[in-house]
């Protein structure tokens, strides 16, 4: 009744209702950095974009009273933890607080719910084109769509909230090329992809080969082979490539040798010969190349980011 009284009988929409509140009452302190000189968001929490809010751990969709995003704005007026801080910003109105509550209780949806705009993968994408596309705020519908297909999506850092990592860690066993293709809806935003143990095929890597901004790719324990690597030839920004336990051979080394930015590659448990490795070492003298003849213990030490990229 109360919500109707204040004009909240209908749905609360993120863009129309929530984003404007955040923009006027929170963004001065909780905005993602765009460049190094910008100040860091308070508490490492960037509220100015959907991906920032989602990855901030402040939402329990469906349950406002367990969500920091709501709790911190609905405390008594003199509470120390109130947001915005009582002596440093104007408090939210009763109506704004009610809108935030309803939005979270209704599921905290960011998308318009119109997956219609996603019915088709954008045509004519290739790596070069994708790299020159502006990296705008990622499309919330596309993020929700991929999450519904089992993907976990996060910004790579609070600083760069438009750049995303996509992984299928928990649903790898049922993830096929069909789900993976849908990543192209976020082509301009994706910089890290973890496909380890998924059912990706050589053919499916054609989609990945269009992600011109990709810097990290994990293919460990997949069925992919040399043909799949051929499909990745245009990924000239790759810095980190994990091919552990795949079917690649020395035949694909010439393609990998052209990744001028490559810093680490993992070839343990593959058929790549020591000749193949030395070809690669010559072409990329500064890259870390880990294969079975290397000290095995070092393959763990060598991981740049062991938490993110399950070996």
| Residue whose CB is less far from ligand HEC, 43 or 255 | 43
CA dist., res. 179 & res. 204, Å (int):
10
Q: Which residue is nearest to ligand HEC (CB)?
A: 26
Q: Determine the size of the site formed for ligand HEC (CB under 6 A).
A: 21
| Residue whose CB is less far from ligand HEC, 25 or 54 | 25
Q: Which of 133, 131, 167, 173 is nearest to 151 (CA)?
A: 167
Show the site string, 8-37: x = touches ligand HEC by CB under 6 A, - = not. -----------------xx-xxx-------
| Residue whose CB is less far from ligand HEC, 87 or 295 | 87
CB of 52 to ligand HEC, least distance (A): 11
CA dist., res. 190 & res. 138, Å (int):
9
CB of 37 to ligand HEC, least distance (A): 19
| Residue whose CB is less far from ligand HEC, 78 or 119 | 78
Pairing of strands 240-242, 152-155: unpaired
The yes or no reply on residue 69 touching ligand HEC (CB under 6 A) is yes
> 32, 49 in Cβ contact below 8 A?
yes
The yes or no reply on residue 45 touching ligand HEC (CB under 6 A) is yes
Q: Which of 193, 216, 129, 160 is nearest to 32 (CA)?
A: 160
The yes or no reply on residue 108 touching ligand HEC (CB under 6 A) is no
CB contact set of 235 (below 8 Å; sequence gap of 6+): 127, 208, 209, 211, 212, 214, 217, 259
| Residue whose CB is less far from ligand HEC, 56 or 245 | 56
CB of 82 to ligand HEC, least distance (A): 9
CB contact set of 66 (below 8 Å; sequence gap of 6+): 60
Helix (H), strand (E), coil (C) string for 184-246: HHHCCCEEEEECCCCCCCCCCHHHHCCCCCCCEEECCCCCCCHHHHHCCCCCCCCCEEECCCC
The yes or no reply on residue 73 touching ligand HEC (CB under 6 A) is yes
> 27, 48 in Cβ contact below 8 A?
yes
Find the binder of ligand HEC among 4, 37, 88, 297 (CB under 6 A).
88
Q: Which tokens belong to 262? A: 């490559």
The yes or no reply on residue 54 touching ligand HEC (CB under 6 A) is no
The yes or no reply on residue 58 touching ligand HEC (CB under 6 A) is yes
Find the binder of ligand HEC among 46, 51, 59, 83 (CB under 6 A).
83
The yes or no reply on residue 89 touching ligand HEC (CB under 6 A) is yes
CB of 93 to ligand HEC, least distance (A): 11
Q: Which tokens belong to 140? A: 């919330």
Instruction: Note the residues at the interface with ligand HEC (CB under 6 A).
Output: 25-26, 28-30, 42-43, 45, 47, 58, 68-69, 72-73, 81, 83-85, 88-89, 92
């Amino acid at each position: 009744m109360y919500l109707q009284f204040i004009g909240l009988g209908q749905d609360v929409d993120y863009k129309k209702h929530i984003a404007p509140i955040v923009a006027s009452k929170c963004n001065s302190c909780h905005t993602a950095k765009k460049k190094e000189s910008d100040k860091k968001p308070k508490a490492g929490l960037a509220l100015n974009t959907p991906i920032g809010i989602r990855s901030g751990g402040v939402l329990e969709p469906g349950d406002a009273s367990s969500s920091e995003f709501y709790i911190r704005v609905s405390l008594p007026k003199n509470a120390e933890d109130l947001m915005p801080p009582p002596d440093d910003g104007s408090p939210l109105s009763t109506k704004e607080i009610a809108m935030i509550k309803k939005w979270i209780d209704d599921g905290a949806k960011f998308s318009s719910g119109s997956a219609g705009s996603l019915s088709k993968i954008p045509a004519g994408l290739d790596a070069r084109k994708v790299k020159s596309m502006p990296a705008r705020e990622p499309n919330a519908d596309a993020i929700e769509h991929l999450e519904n297909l089992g993907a976990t999506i996060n910004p790579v850092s609070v600083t760069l909230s438009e750049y995303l990592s996509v992984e299928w860690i928990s649903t790898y066993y049922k993830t096929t090329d069909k789900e993976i293709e849908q990543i192209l809806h976020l082509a301009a935003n994706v910089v890290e992809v973890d496909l380890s143990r998924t059912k990706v095929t050589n053919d499916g890597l054609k989609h990945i080969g269009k992600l011109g901004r990709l810097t990290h790719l994990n293919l460990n324990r997949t069925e992919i082979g040399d043909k799949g690597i051929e499909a990745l030839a245009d990924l000239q920004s790759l810095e980190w490539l994990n091919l552990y336990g795949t079917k690649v051979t020395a035949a694909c080394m010439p393609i990998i040798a052209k990744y001028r930015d490559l810093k680490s590659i993992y070839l343990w448990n593959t058929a790549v010969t020591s000749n193949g490795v030395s070809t690669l070492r010559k072409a990329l003298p500064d890259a870390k190349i880990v294969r079975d003849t290397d000290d095995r213990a070092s393959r763990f030490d060598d991981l740049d980011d062991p938490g993110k990229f399950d070996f």
